[in-house]
Chain A
Amino acid sequence: MSQLIAQLPALQVVVPLLGAVLVAFCRGGRTAYFVSLLVSLLMPVVSGLLLWQAIIAGPISYHLGGWQPPWGIEYHIDVFNGLVLMMVSAVGALVMPFAWRSVADEIDEDKQAWFYCMYLLCLTGLLGIAATGDAFNAFVFLEISSLSAYVLIALGRDRRALLAAFRYLIMGTIGATFYVIGIGLLYVVTGSLNIVDIGSRIAGAAAVYPHAVIAALAFITVGLGLKLALFPLHVWLPNAYTYAPSVVTAFMAATATKVAIYLLARFAFGVFGQAFDFRTLPVADIILVLSVAAMFVAAFVAISETDLKRMLAYSSVSQIGYITLGIGIANKPGLTGSIVHLVNHAMMKGALFLALGAVVYRIGSARLSDLAGIGRRMPWTMTAFTIAGFGLIGTPGTVGFISKWYLVAGAFAAGQWVLVFLIVGSSLLALVYVGRAVEVIWFRDTGPAAARATDPPPSMLAPILLLMAAVVYFGVETSLTAGIAERAAALLLGGLP
């Protein structure tokens, strides 16, 4: 048993990978589904154990194939990526029960096994990025998750999904290339690919090759900025989320961008933060400005969207702005807010996109005009939608409030009064776009499209309600989210306040 425990970091990545291979040999969607379900349900157990160990006993270092770091690939799991692993695998496990009917409804029968194979590969990639402590290995997983994500998006039944996937492919590839150029530069100046090791060598390297290190920082920030949809590099995201199958949208919105943000934070503080005070670099200011721009511009666009899936996609860009904002503020409360919002936003957007998935399953549309009065027809689904929507606004009693609390505290501690009001100002825009949807859903007379809808079957409703419960539960009991996020922030910042 302890043998197995010791292998957990590898299992976290290998199990879904093997699952994907197994599913690739499946003909029918049914077998493929059950393999994927099994793997997906197993993953939170593994990451739960890992996170628990990281909390109790400190960082776990796993040497792949027994090779010593920095030469071999190391899986380095501390509270920060432990939390990210937990979030990714939990979302993966929650969308799977939902997927059964939704995928059967939205994807051709002969492509369903293929879909699950790609889904498991994507999960592998995301978990791998979070688990690995090796910069190049992270690139490999980044590509695995991205390539499978292109396929997943292209499987959307709307033909525009193809174009959206293609656009994502182009931009994602540019992002990955930039990232790998940055890694290459770092390798040249430090001679290492292990993130911890680079961190320990970079101060020396920066003294000798300051321009190369700054260039590496620029390449990595822009490369990951593309992946995480940092404004204005977000243009691939709205269409990708809108036309992808419902399950994919929910899964990717909750996890894919978050893992890239994780990697950015890791580089910003774990690597470059060792050479410079991150806050004194222009990149911190640039991130702040772009984050604020994202929070406002994307929210304004969200207000004007008439398709709810698209509205939520823009809302995601806006919410990603909150997360990167905390990285830019770069003090303990700010970074805590950033990390906790990583998790909290996954819950909220997971619930929102799954609820919309249920709507699409019932009425085949997510256009606002088709949803008039649907609240009375799908009361549970729409209650979840509404509560998760309140989370986006940041009403107290939901997880969104907790994120906002830390971010505002961070901005205030940094002496940035303007930022304080920009953060809360953006939630006012969320109030407008969520409020508009809630008004149509609950306060209009039921339209013809919504008239025959009902709540979806339990396998779809249960994940939605669980996520809704999480939005409220973790809005009140925060030791597992904000508590861990605070430790992660302290870890990233080292001795800084």
Chain B
Amino acid sequence: MSTIASPAGLILLALAVPFAASAVIPLFRRRPNLREAVTLIAAAVLFALVLAIAGPVMGDARPQWAGIQVLPGVAIAFQVEPLGMLFALVASALWIVNSIYSIGYMRANDEPRQTGYYVCFALALGSTIGIAFSANLFTMFLFYEALTLSTFPLVTHHRDAEAMRSGRLYLLLLLGSSLLLFLPAIIITFMLAGTVRFEPGGILAGTGGTLLAVLLGLYVFGIGKAAVMPLHRWLPAAMVAPTPVSALLHAVAVVKAGVFCVVKIVVYVFGLETLAAAGANDWLVYVGSASLLLASCIALTRDNLKARLAYSTISQLAYIVVGAALANATSIAGSGLHIATHAVGKITLFFCAGAIYTALHKTEISDMAGIGRKMPVTMTAFLIGSLSIIGLPPFAGTWSKWVLALGALDAGYVSVVAVLMISSLLNVAYLLPIVARAFFLPLPEPSAGAAKLQEAPAPCLVALCVTAALCIVLFFQAGVIENLLAGIFASPSSTG
């Protein structure tokens, strides 16, 4: 019993739960209620385990599992530090909400292959936790690829020509970029540093500035999941998936895994001092800012709601990348905070998009005139999510943009502050018209008389209300996350 309760035991158990669930779910393929119960139980147990690990991490401990050596100096090993802790908390908490939403959505839309869907979902979550807890680049890479592979069947869920075409693009861009750039970057890091472990302060001290800049480029573009332009095309393509997949995976788990990897590598492989001193991060500030603004502009032009949200995600991910590129303690805290706040905001928006599709079968924004009257709860949640993404108080997004702006000033980049402000305006321009159209325009003529309530099924509604509420809760509780993230730069004590 003592081994299970030990930090290493908890980490392994947290990893085992989703994978075990994926093995158990097919056993109940003829009993849908039991099958969904397995998912919900696994999600709840996972969240409890992650919470149990969070306690010590808040107290500056670094629970770890020494792992299996694969090659000399390269191992499959886990160590939980504040950033990974935060990411695991966000992913595992939202998995519960998203599972509830999935049940409503998948059944109401009578989707095929639901067993496979829940299996892959559990695998994807297991991979996400693996990424969050990874103690070195190799482990991170292992689960990074596992996440791509396990989400492929979800993207191609409908198996029609369009889904397969998007799936191919998804696989080619994500797996391709990781094999072509991420993997060489890891091996080069290993050759330079003699290790691939994440160490406070980084492992690349003493490396030349040009090489650092090139290496950073290999990482940033090799981690295609971060969707830095021009490697963002897979994300809009992935929108062919059922909406709960877009919500949890392509607004939270997969994309956040990408930016999380970037931030973690900047902090623990390059080291903030090393990077900033060499000036190897400057280019990324500009590339990230460009990605940030461009994606917002493209979002303005998209009429398909999910496509608009996807481009919005690309833009918001760039915030986090820019935060990493600014390479100071404040900006990293801003990036970490944005991982959490954007997650709750964007998942709310996707839940709403899925609810609209389920209830009214509408996907284009231009068709959504007056739907606020039919779906007041959904559209109110959409408004809350939008305001949080824009960054207005009292919603969670306020703080992350605030801290990011402070980080930009710390780094002496006034221009980045300007970029953040312009982007917020663009957010207003592409999100609020949707709400305004829903509430203030009349319904189209034929159905004008029948403006009765027509909300999505209860599980969907519950889920989107919970995440909308979280947007507000996180505004008042952001201090907890900031405290957790402050631990990145505290002197840690390892416990095995």
Q: Which residue from chain A places its CB closest to the CB of B177 in the assembled complex?
A: A428
Complex Cα distance, B356 from A369, in Å, reads 40
Set of chain B residues within 8 Å of A396, measured between Cβ atoms: 138, 141-142, 145
Set of chain A residues within 8 Å of B168, measured between Cβ atoms: 435, 439
Complex Cα distance, B159 from A396, in Å, reads 27
Q: Is the CB of A402 within 8 A of B71?
A: yes
Set of chain A residues within 8 Å of B176, measured between Cβ atoms: 428, 431
Q: Is the CB of A408 within 8 A of B71?
A: no
Q: Is the CB of A443 within 8 A of B164?
A: yes
Complex Cα distance, B251 from A258, in Å, reads 47
Chain B, residues 174-217, CB within 8 Å of chain A (1/0): the string is: 01100111011001101100000000000000000000000000
Complex Cα distance, B196 from A405, in Å, reads 13
Complex Cα distance, B191 from A428, in Å, reads 23
Q: Is the CB of B180 within 8 A of A404?
A: no
> B70, B141, B146, B187: which contacts A412 (Cβ < 8 A)?
B187
Please tell me if A214 contacts chain B, counting CB pairs below 8 Å.
Answer: no
Please tell me if A424 contacts chain B, counting CB pairs below 8 Å.
Answer: yes
Complex Cα distance, B75 from A396, in Å, reads 12
Please tell me if A397 contacts chain B, counting CB pairs below 8 Å.
Answer: yes
- A480 nearest CB across to chain B (Å): 12
Q: How many residues of chain B are within 8 Å of chain A by beta carbon?
A: 30
Please tell me if B478 contacts chain A, counting CB pairs below 8 Å.
Answer: no
Please tell me if B48 contacts chain A, counting CB pairs below 8 Å.
Answer: no
Please tell me if B149 contacts chain A, counting CB pairs below 8 Å.
Answer: yes
Complex Cα distance, B175 from A395, in Å, reads 9
Complex Cα distance, B167 from A435, in Å, reads 11
Chain B residues numbered 155-172 whose CB sits less than 8 Å from any CB in chain A:
156, 159, 164, 167-168, 171-172
Q: Is the CB of B180 within 8 A of A409?
A: no
Set of chain A residues within 8 Å of B142, measured between Cβ atoms: 396-397
Please tell me if B68 contacts chain A, counting CB pairs below 8 Å.
Answer: yes
Q: Is the CB of B183 within 8 A of A424?
A: yes
Q: Is the CB of B149 within 8 A of A395?
A: yes
Q: Is the CB of B180 within 8 A of A478?
A: no
Q: Is the CB of B179 within 8 A of A478?
A: no
Q: Which residue from chain B places its CB closest to the CB of A479 in the assembled complex?
A: B69
A396-B138, A396-B145, A476-B68 given; A409·B190 CB < 8 A: yes
Q: Is the CB of A476 within 8 A of B183?
A: no
Set of chain A residues within 8 Å of B409, measured between Cβ atoms: none
Chain B, residues 51-67, CB within 8 Å of chain A (1/0): the string is: 00000000000000000
- B123 nearest CB across to chain A (Å): 13
Q: Is the CB of A394 within 8 A of B191?
A: no
Q: Is the CB of B180 within 8 A of A421?
A: yes
> A409, A413, A420, A431: which contacts B179 (Cβ < 8 A)?
A431
Please tell me if B76 contacts chain A, counting CB pairs below 8 Å.
Answer: yes
Complex Cα distance, B69 from A402, in Å, reads 12
Q: Which residue from chain A places its CB closest to the CB of B140 in the assembled complex?
A: A396
Q: Is the CB of A413 within 8 A of B145?
A: no
Set of chain A residues within 8 Å of B146, measured between Cβ atoms: 397
A420-B184, A482-B71 given; A435·B171 CB < 8 A: yes
- B142, B156, B164: residue with the most chain A Cβ atoms closer than 10 Å: B142
Set of chain A residues within 8 Å of B183, measured between Cβ atoms: 394, 404, 408, 424
Q: Which residue from chain B places its CB closest to the CB of A436 in the assembled complex?
A: B168
> B76, B141, B172, B187: which contacts A476 (Cβ < 8 A)?
B76
Q: Is the CB of B179 within 8 A of A405?
A: no
Please tell me if A105 contacts chain B, counting CB pairs below 8 Å.
Answer: no
Q: Which residue from chain A places its CB closest to the CB of B75 in the assembled complex?
A: A476
Set of chain B residues within 8 Å of A447, measured between Cβ atoms: none
Please tell me if A108 contacts chain B, counting CB pairs below 8 Å.
Answer: no
Complex Cα distance, B148 from A395, in Å, reads 11
Please tell me if A425 contacts chain B, counting CB pairs below 8 Å.
Answer: yes
Set of chain B residues within 8 Å of A420, measured between Cβ atoms: 184, 187-188
Complex Cα distance, B159 from A237, in Å, reads 36
A431-B171, A435-B171, A476-B68 given; A393·B187 CB < 8 A: no
Q: Is the CB of A412 within 8 A of B191?
A: yes
Chain A residues numbered 402-455 whose CB sits less than 8 Å from any CB in chain B:
402, 404-405, 408-409, 412-413, 420-421, 424-425, 427-428, 431-432, 435, 439, 443
> B153, B175, B181: which contacts A431 (Cβ < 8 A)?
B175
Q: Is the CB of A412 within 8 A of B188?
A: yes
> B70, B145, B164, B175: which contacts A439 (Cβ < 8 A)?
B164
- B142 nearest CB across to chain A (Å): 4
Complex Cα distance, B180 from A425, in Å, reads 6
Set of chain A residues within 8 Å of B188, measured between Cβ atoms: 412, 420
Please tell me if A277 contacts chain B, counting CB pairs below 8 Å.
Answer: no
Complex Cα distance, B45 from A365, in Å, reads 47
Q: Is the CB of B180 within 8 A of A428?
A: yes
Complex Cα distance, B176 from A348, in Å, reads 21
- A431 nearest CB across to chain B (Å): 6
Q: Is the CB of B184 within 8 A of A394?
A: no
Complex Cα distance, B222 from A421, in Å, reads 12
Please tell me if A477 contacts chain B, counting CB pairs below 8 Å.
Answer: yes
- A412 nearest CB across to chain B (Å): 5
Complex Cα distance, B191 from A413, in Å, reads 8
Complex Cα distance, B180 from A442, in Å, reads 26
Q: Which residue from chain B places its CB closest to the CB of A336 in the assembled complex?
A: B71
Set of chain B residues within 8 Å of A390, measured between Cβ atoms: 149
Set of chain A residues within 8 Å of B153, measured between Cβ atoms: 443
> B76, B149, B184, B191: which contacts A424 (Cβ < 8 A)?
B184
Set of chain B residues within 8 Å of A413, measured between Cβ atoms: 191
> When A and B form their complex, which 8 residue pairs have the shortest distance between CB atoms, in order from nearest?
A396-B142, A408-B187, A420-B184, A424-B180, A395-B145, A412-B191, A427-B179, A428-B176
**Given A424-B184, A476-B68, 15 additional A-B pairs, CB 8 A:** A393-B179, A394-B179, A395-B145, A405-B187, A408-B183, A408-B184, A408-B187, A412-B188, A413-B191, A420-B187, A424-B179, A425-B180, A439-B168, A443-B156, A482-B71
14 contacts between A and B (CB under 8 A): A395-B149, A396-B142, A397-B145, A402-B70, A405-B71, A405-B74, A408-B183, A409-B187, A412-B184, A424-B181, A428-B179, A476-B70, A478-B70, A478-B71
Chain B positions within 8 Å of A, measured between CB atoms, are 68, 70-71, 74, 76, 138, 141-142, 145-146, 149, 153, 156, 159, 164, 167-168, 171-172, 175-176, 179-181, 183-184, 187-188, 190-191
Chain A positions within 8 Å of B, measured between CB atoms, are 390, 393-397, 402, 404-405, 408-409, 412-413, 420-421, 424-425, 427-428, 431-432, 435, 439, 443, 475-478, 482
